[in-house]
Structure 1
Amino acid sequence: MFGTDDLPGLHPGLLVSNETGWVPATTLIDGDQLPTLLASAARRWQAKRHAAAALAWKAYSYWVALPAALGWAAARRVPLLRASDVLLRMDEAGPLVDIGLRPSVTVAVLPNDPLAVSGLPEVVVVPDDAALLGLLRASLLDEHLNPLLDTIHRQVKIGQRTLLGSLASGVAYAILQAADTLPGTPAETIGTLLDALDVADLIELVPGADGEPTVQRKTCCLAFTLPEPKICPGCCIRPN
């Protein structure tokens, strides 16, 4: 249903049939696996603790949000990415995190979707798009990323705005990259998703060199603090 190409941070096909080597995202929120993730990020980028946390969050929140954001934008089908249904594994030789979903993950759909009459226990039908976006926000943000953000704050001094800025830019980049395959305009789609997540004030879309919209961040992921400083496209920091 939500099968993917071979992307570096998503398990092929998204669903994980054998959980050996995987841990649920709840182990990040309860603090059990978060030190492992932050230490891996610190080694990978030779980053100080606060920068490692910012970059780990940037990578994790991007890959976790992708199935929900693109599922809504492409088909109005939203996998509810509660932490208990999201699995991850960390591999020093590969991407920082690999994200997959349990086969039992719930998918929210609209009444006119063929899945609405499928009788599948994993499918929940909601009355309209507002309810669909509400479930997207509740499962991804309220029940997953916000609790993780709170756990990070207890271990690392880093601002909430900095972290949520990466979520906003990640969702926007994902929609822009897939724009040719999605209905509607990218700006409208991005605006609707970011409004639902209450992070629309953290980025803006500006014309790029070719006139197409690009993401301008209002926060920084702290990549400029690395031993080999990096200024990401759209960063609020301007190189000299």
Structure 2
Amino acid sequence: MKPDRDDLLAYALGTLPPAEAARVEAALAADPALRAELRADLDALSHLLDDLDPGAVTVPADAGERLLARVRAEGRLAPPLRETPRARPAPRRPSWRFSAGLALAAALALAIFLLSQVDEDAARRYARLPGAVVHPIEVNGTPLGTAVRLPDGRVYVGLTRPLEQDRTYQLWQIENGSPVSRGVFQEGLLLRLPPEATIAVSVEPRGGSPQPTTQPLFIQKL
């Protein structure tokens, strides 16, 4: 089941149980649109943090003395019998807004770190699953990414080469000598493929193309 907005927010704030957090991480690793949605939520939380002014709630240093003087003037408190040494003012406690800001900042930092781990380590995470078979992807001896076939028939394809703006990777399954689109992605794509499927990846305009418009980066049998 695809995580909803509440799941993403709870994940960003680190309040999900470990099993639920793992489910959300797996969904984020397989769905670039979901990662974009989470990044938008983190941006919104960042703007909220910017609006929290740590100095918004301040207490004057002599506020306590002024309050006591006012109470005595109204006859609600007898004056002191003798002069006592002035106590050193206690350190001001930070306002609740400042505390909330610190907590939110910590949650944002954790969420951004977790999201970067999802983007960076998805292939390695899938490769560690029992029964996974790893297929390195290389072009002329240069590593380009990794394909990981899982025991349930799914395949994760992740590429590490940066994309130009407004461009996307598009994965094709070669069937009877013709390319059939299986989806677009920015970093990685998780999909179900038959055994010994032959795949190719090309760079296409954002949103993908009905047929490849560029030379495939690679063609590989899994």
TM-score, structure 2 as length reference: 0.33
Of structures 1 and 2, the one with the larger relative CO (CA 8 A, separation 6+) is 1
Question: Which structure: greater helix fraction?
Answer: 1
Larger Rg computed on CA atoms: 2
Question: Which structure: greater strand fraction?
Answer: 2
TM-score, structure 1 as length reference: 0.31
